[in-house]
């Protein structure tokens, strides 16, 4: 079985295992790849996030991004790093990261996920109106009947 398939298998059964077991299983796989493998570092960071160990996850996400992740892991790492920053009480950093991500990749397949996390970060940053605007603007295109009205209301906020 290929390395990524084994990683996917760990994540596929994550709900059946303890958080520490998931981290240990991912770490065992990461050890096969080394400290300069961006994908391995991304998986290590994700395991720590899963276990609620955000302070350990942050530097791993940053290092993985520095080493150069390909899509879709690059976008996932940006979103997950932003979520980690928010969970660490650094909502302003999360907002800035997500706003930059959306400015650079507005049509990325994960852009709506980035917008959802941006809304959460804006709320935590004390900007509930901006959070609502982002959430409604993301939702409006998916509303067959009231999309135009919701988009207009979001603009008014």
Match 């067959």 to its residue by tokens: 144
- Whether the per-residue pLDDT at 50 is higher than 90: the answer is yes
Which tokens belong to 139? 């939702």
Of the candidates 23, 33, 25, the residue with the CA atom closest to the CA atom of residue 6: 25
Q: Which CATH number belongs to the domain containing residue 33 in this structure?
A: 1.25.40
**Same domain for 128 and 79:** yes
Match 């991304």 to its residue by tokens: 42
| DSSP, res 108 | -
From 69, 91, 115, the end of a domain falls on 69
Task: Give the span between the Cα atoms of 150 and 50, in whole angstroms.
Answer: 34
Reported as a single tens digit per residue, the pLDDT across 62-116 is 999 999 999 999 999 999 999 999 999 999 999 999 999 999 999 999 999 999 9
Q: Is the peptide bond before 72 cis (omega within 30 degrees of 0)?
A: yes
């Amino acid at each position: 079985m290929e390395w990524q398939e084994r990683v996917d298998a760990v994540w596929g059964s994550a709900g059946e295992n303890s958080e520490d077991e998931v981290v240990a299983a991912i770490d065992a796989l990461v050890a096969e790849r080394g400290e300069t493998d961006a994908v391995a570092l991304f998986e290590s960071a994700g395991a720590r996030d899963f276990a609620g160990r955000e302070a350990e996850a942050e530097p791993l996400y940053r290092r993985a991004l520095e080493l150069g992740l390909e899509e879709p892991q690059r976008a996932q790492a940006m979103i997950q790093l932003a979520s980690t920053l928010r969970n660490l009480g650094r909502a302003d950093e999360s907002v800035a990261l997500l706003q930059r991500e959306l400015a650079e990749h507005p049509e990325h397949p994960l852009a709506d996920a980035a917008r959802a996390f941006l809304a959460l970060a804006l709320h935590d940053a004390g900007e509930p109106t901006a959070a609502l605007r982002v959430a409604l603007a993301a939702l409006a295109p998916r509303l067959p009947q009231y999309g135009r009205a919701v988009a207009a209301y979001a603009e008014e906020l």
